[in-house]
Amino acid sequence: MQNTATPTHCPYCALQCGMNLTPAPDGTVVVSERADFPVNRGALCGKGRTSAEVLARNVRLTSPLVRDEGGTLVPASWDEALERIAAGLGRTRAEHGPDAVGVFGGGGLTNEKAYTLGKFARVVLGTSQIDYNGRFCMSSAAAAGIKAFGLDRGLPFPLEDIPKSGCVILVGSNLAETMPPSLRFFTELKENGGTLIVIDPRRTKTAEQADLHLAPRPGTDLALALGLLHLVIAEGRVDEEYVKERTAGWEDARAAAMAHWPEYVERITGVSVPQLREVVRMFCEPESAMVLTARGPEQQSKGTDTVGAWINLCLATGRAGRPRSGYGCLTGQGNGQGGREHGQKADQLPGYRKLDDPAARAHVAEVWGVDPDSLPGPGRSAYELLDALGTDIRSLLLMASNPVVSAPRAAHIEERIRSLDFLAVCDVVLSETAELADVVLPVTQWAEETGTTTNLEGRVLLRRRAITPPDGIRSDLEVLHELAARLGVEKGFPTDPEEVFEELRRASAGGAADYSGITYRRLAEENGVFWPCPAAVETADADEDALPGGEAPAVHPGTPRLFLDRFATPDGRARFVPVSHRATAEEPDEEYPVLLTTGRVVAQYQSGAQTRRVAELNAAAPGPFVELHPRLAARLGAAEGDPVAVVSRRGRAVAPARITHAIRPDTVFMPFHWPGEGRANTLTNPALDPTSRMPEFKACAVRLEAVER
Ligand code: SF4
């Protein structure tokens, strides 16, 4: 590998910041600024800047591990480890049937890996039981987007459109900590005269940037959006012409909103009627406006309806499918967007096709060279799959996920994982979940392999291999190739990412997420391509320059902006979905009088499996904490730094108190990046949204107890 800079992208969040990687003579890798990528223009947060530290041998897995007879994980050869996995999965399949074998993926997997994992589950194992941790991330927004617009692409416009809008309502996103380089789009918005409204129960670093910050009670964003729509109607601010021309279903949505009087909404949310009126004024007066949601409104047992209510607000005011206006979801995980498009979801086939659609099954089966009838149907969603471990599901193959830390009701899920007959984990580090495995395989990381991801804008990107992986490490694609062969499928599982992508292009062709016009060469030359991007011309050189004569492009340009002419529904109209307020699954009561909400801090990423191994990040965010209001702390008799026990119906977590006026007095906050005593997900409620099957991470009832130091 040359000692020159390789342009690539960050391994962490869905912003997928551009960066350069250069191998240094001492064997380390230098991360440097890459100014040509428009999303971050060279800026990186601390996680991206230090990302190369996880490439070091001393923090990562360097050999396969197998559990010996004494119960200890010990180094083993690749042959032995792969044989054990094939035998473990094969035995379960033979004894209990294919659906007794589960597969669990991750939103960090490249498109090629997510695609291959879905194909492996359905073609090699024949199981319907596959889902991934992205179900915990943005699935409610995806479900609401499909209902309203007929299509889910997180942002239907590039981030660069944000500063051109007149007003942005940011609901439940702390992007100043989760994706700091994106903050500049909102700073530019304000510099251009636009306004920023942030809705969050905490006065976060993002909320500090806002022109107006509303702090509703956790789990009440649905009522808040309905109250705003009520005022829009009452104040005569509905864009009647737009509603008539571009939407359907207004009357039912209107009636639902009219039942949510501002005073009623004030009682539910704690947001005053004058504040509601101010939001309506700020949102409706400019020519253009946007609503962006993130995990706050989405990670609820009514997340789909909550996002639907915000979409209704956009539709009623003509703020969707128009320049500088729209609804968007800020996807979280690195490949959270692509990971939900190509088949590792329980109900899905590549190209965002539905597994229960006969035409979709026939198309994909043809690409895969199998009988459509051999493809299993939809399986369980992520939490339901994890909950079935050890009972209906007896063996599990897990890639790029750490549910022992990141799943709701985590102690129960840990116990379910421990009860499995067989667990195999592919990861770069020995995560808390990998520690429980029968076999652990060390796999290559982003800098050591080529592959594509799709960022939160729907921009497909090429991550390039910059360095050679250490001896003893193989890629996830090589692992799946080897396992497929050992389980009797010799062909169809290439190890070359570009070869996989070429097959993915064909499998996605004609689907909602159509990648058929995208090639590695284009991605390298164009700095990313927005899907849908069908192959515009069916010729051998379809990705060459314009056709002779120049009128029709030989290459589809990609689609940075969706819905400007029509929505992706059969009649081209967006759908209002009538929704009504309902309580969180677990409201506070005498025994559990406080609400817990969970989230992230700037120096850690997701379950922390990688970032907790980086010294600088660990120093900045060494452990969990309980953020609480001074009034609550006084009632508890807790001072700053005192250990506080947070107890829910599912368990108990202890962490130091962090006392601040930045949170509501009826709410406590815990970040979820750590295992052990301070594991926030020990407490969280797995109540599921009926449509998206997203658990309610954002609100559960707890009580606080003082703990002796
Ligand atoms: Fe990486 Fe996200 Fe930080 Fe950008 S914002 S450097 S993509 S973690």
What digits encode the pLDDT tens for the residues 138-156?
899 999 999 999 999 999 9
The pocket around ligand 1, CB under 6 angstroms, is made up of 10, 12-13, 15-17, 40, 44-45, 47-48, 179-181
Per-residue pLDDT tens digits for 90-123: 999 999 999 999 999 999 999 999 999 999 999 9
Per-residue pLDDT tens digits for 457-482: 999 999 999 999 999 999 999 999 99
Confidence of residue 548 (pLDDT cuts 50, 70, 90): very low
Q: Is the pLDDT of residue 493 over 60?
A: yes
Please name the residue whose Cα sits nearest to atom 6 of ligand 1.
Answer: 48
Please name the residue whose Cα sits nearest to atom 3 of ligand 1.
Answer: 45
Ligand 1 centre distance from Cα of residue 426 (Å)? 23
Per-residue pLDDT tens digits for 174-200: 999 999 999 999 999 999 999 999 999
Q: How many CB atoms lie within 10 A of CB 121?
A: 28
Ligand 1 centre distance from Cα of residue 106 (Å)? 17
Query: What pLDDT is stored for residue 554 in this prediction?
Result: 74
Per-residue pLDDT tens digits for 498-528: 999 999 999 999 999 999 999 999 999 998 9
Given the CA of residue 48, which atom of ligand 1 is nearest to it?
6
| pLDDT, mean of residues 278-291 | 98
How far apart CA 48 and CA 25 sit, in angstroms, is 21
Query: What pLDDT is stored for residue 327 in this prediction?
Result: 97
Pocket-testing residue among 51, 179, 330, 331, ligand 1, by greatest number of atoms within 8 A of Cβ: 179
Q: Is the pLDDT of residue 543 over 80?
A: no
Query: What pLDDT is stored for residue 138 in this prediction?
Result: 85
Ligand 1 centre distance from Cα of residue 336 (Å)? 13
Given the CA of residue 179, which atom of ligand 1 is nearest to it?
5
Query: What pLDDT is stored for residue 2 in this prediction?
Result: 53
Query: What pLDDT is stored for residue 553 in this prediction?
Result: 57
Please name the residue whose Cα sits nearest to atom 2 of ligand 1.
Answer: 13
Please name the residue whose Cα sits nearest to atom 4 of ligand 1.
Answer: 17
Start-to-end Cα distance in the chain: 53
What's the token pair of residue 246? Answer: 């571009």
| pLDDT, mean of residues 687-704 | 97
Per-residue pLDDT tens digits for 644-675: 999 999 999 999 999 999 999 999 999 999 99
Query: What pLDDT is stored for residue 27 in this prediction?
Result: 87
Q: Give start and end residues of each alpha helix (H) in 235-316.
A: 240-246, 250-258, 262-269, 273-284, 295-298, 303-316
Q: What is the mean pLDDT of the chain?
A: 95
What's the token pair of residue 269? Answer: 């949310």
Ligand 1 centre distance from Cα of residue 704 (Å)? 34
Could you write out the DSSP letters of every residue in 27-46? S-EEEEE-TT-TTTTT---H
Query: What pLDDT is stored for residue 537 in this prediction?
Result: 54
> Could you tell me which residues come within 8 angstroms of residue 615 by beta carbon, excluding any fewer than 6 positions away?
53
How far apart CA 559 and CA 513 sit, in angstroms, is 11
Per-residue pLDDT tens digits for 599-643: 999 999 999 999 999 999 999 999 999 999 999 999 999 999 999
**CATH match for 65-136+338-444+473-512 among 3.30.390.50, 3.40.309.10, 3.40.50.740, 1.10.3720.10:** 3.40.50.740
Interaxial angle between packed helices 221-234 and 303-316, expressed in degrees from 0 to 180 and rounded to the nearest 10: 20
What counts of helices (H) and strands (E) characterise the chain?
Answer: 22, 30
Per-residue pLDDT tens digits for 227-273: 999 999 999 999 999 999 999 999 999 999 999 999 999 999 999 99
Q: What share of the chain is helix, strand, coil (3-state, %, to 5)?
A: 35, 20, 45
Confidence of residue 544 (pLDDT cuts 50, 70, 90): very low
Query: What pLDDT is stored for residue 485 in this prediction?
Result: 98
Ligand 1 centre distance from Cα of residue 13 (Å)? 5
Q: What is the CATH number of domain 594-706?
A: 2.40.40.20
Q: What is the CATH number of domain 155-330+569-575?
A: 3.40.228.10
Ligand 1 centre distance from Cα of residue 395 (Å)? 34
CA angle 207–661–659, rounded 5-degree value = 120
Given the CA of residue 605, which atom of ligand 1 is nearest to it?
8
Q: Is the pLDDT of residue 542 over 80?
A: no
How far apart CA 449 and CA 228 sit, in angstroms, is 48
Pocket-testing residue among 16, 44, 205, 602, ligand 1, by greatest number of atoms within 8 A of Cβ: 44
- Domain ranges in the chain? 65-136+338-444+473-512, 155-330+569-575, 594-706
pTM: 0.95
Given the CA of residue 334, which atom of ligand 1 is nearest to it?
7
